């Protein structure tokens, strides 16, 4: 068992949204801590990895404390893990990086949302935000083709050029 203590960032999502991510991972709140149950050390490390991925982009810092009771006194090991923050405006830099990844995928032609999701290492809400930003900037256009929505790099459509 491990206990997770979060330090929220005022530059990230609301603490309640971060807490929901924690609960979605199956962690339960115990006072100021979230409790993480694991079968063994390998399972614990795998769950911490999932926790790390779930908190990416939130600006939240977390401390993982595991406890082991020896006789009357507790013997505790504490490790503090911080999410990478490559630049001060990490969310903007991350958004630009993901926009570049989407552009690279679309250079070879249109892709559906599911195809982009499969090709890129992002979750659905993140891809929605990236595509929304790219569409707002005119970098990507959405087209309905054969009953499905497909995304293409921005610019004039070929039909318009042929006229």
Domain at 43, CATH number:
3.30.70
Specify whether 109 is located in the same domain as 69: no
Q: What is the structure's pLDDT at 67?
A: 52
Where does a domain end: 52, 81, 110?
A: 81
Is 50 among the domain residues?
yes
Top-ranked range on mean pLDDT: pick from 11-25, 57-71, 85-99, 142-156: 11-25
d(Cα 36, Cα 44) in Å, to the nearest integer? 8
Give the max Cα distance, the chain: 85
Is 32 among the domain residues?
yes
Which residues, at least 6 apart from 57, have a Cβ–Cβ distance to it below 8 Å? 12, 91, 94, 126
- Please state the rounded mean pLDDT for residues 118-129: 84
Q: What is the structure's pLDDT at 160?
A: 42
- Please state the rounded mean pLDDT for residues 145-160: 67
Is 46 among the domain residues?
yes
Top-ranked range on mean pLDDT: pick from 29-33, 82-86, 88-92, 111-115: 111-115
Q: What is the structure's pLDDT at 128?
A: 86
Query: Residue 45: which domain range?
Result: 2-81
pLDDT at 68 over 70: no
Specify whether 59 is located in the same domain as 34: yes
- Please state the rounded mean pLDDT for residues 39-43: 87
pLDDT at 148 over 80: no
Which residues, at least 6 apart from 157, have a Cβ–Cβ distance to it below 8 Å? 141
* Range in 19-28, 112-121, 144-153 the model is least confident about: 144-153
Confidence of residue 57 (pLDDT cuts 50, 70, 90): confident
Q: Are 6 and 60 in contact (CB under 8 A)?
A: yes
Bridge partners of 148? Answer: 145
39 is written with which tokens? Answer: 């079968």
Relative orientation angle of helices 15-24 and 41-55, to the nearest 10 degrees = 150
Q: Are 63 and 8 in contact (CB under 8 A)?
A: no
Q: What is the structure's pLDDT at 94?
A: 79
Is 133 among the domain residues?
yes
- CA-derived radius of gyration, the chain: 21
Specify whether 58 is located in the same domain as 96: no
Confidence of residue 85 (pLDDT cuts 50, 70, 90): very low
Segment (H or E) for 117: helix 113-119
Is 163 among the domain residues?
no
Is 162 among the domain residues?
no
45 is written with which tokens? Answer: 């490390």
Specify whether 53 is located in the same domain as 120: no
Where does a domain end: 56, 81, 106?
A: 81
């Amino acid at each position: 068992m491990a206990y997770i203590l979060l330090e929220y960032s005022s530059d990230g999502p609301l603490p309640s949204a971060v807490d929901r991510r924690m609960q979605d991972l199956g962690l339960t709140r115990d006072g100021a801590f979230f409790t993480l149950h694991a079968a063994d050390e390998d399972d614990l490390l795998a769950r911490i990895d999932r926790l790390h991925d779930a908190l990416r982009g939130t600006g939240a810092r977390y401390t993982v404390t595991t406890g082991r009771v020896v006789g009357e006194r507790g013997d505790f090991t504490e490790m503090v893990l911080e999410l990478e923050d490559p630049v001060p405006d990490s969310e903007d830099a991350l958004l630009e990086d993901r926009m570049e990844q989407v552009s690279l995928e679309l250079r070879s032609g249109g892709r559906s949302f599911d195809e982009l999701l499969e090709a890129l290492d992002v979750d659905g809400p993140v891809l929605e935000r990236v595509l929304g930003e790219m569409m707002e900037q005119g970098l990507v256009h959405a087209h309905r083709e054969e009953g499905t929505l497909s995304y293409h790099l921005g610019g004039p459509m070929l039909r318009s050029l042929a006229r």
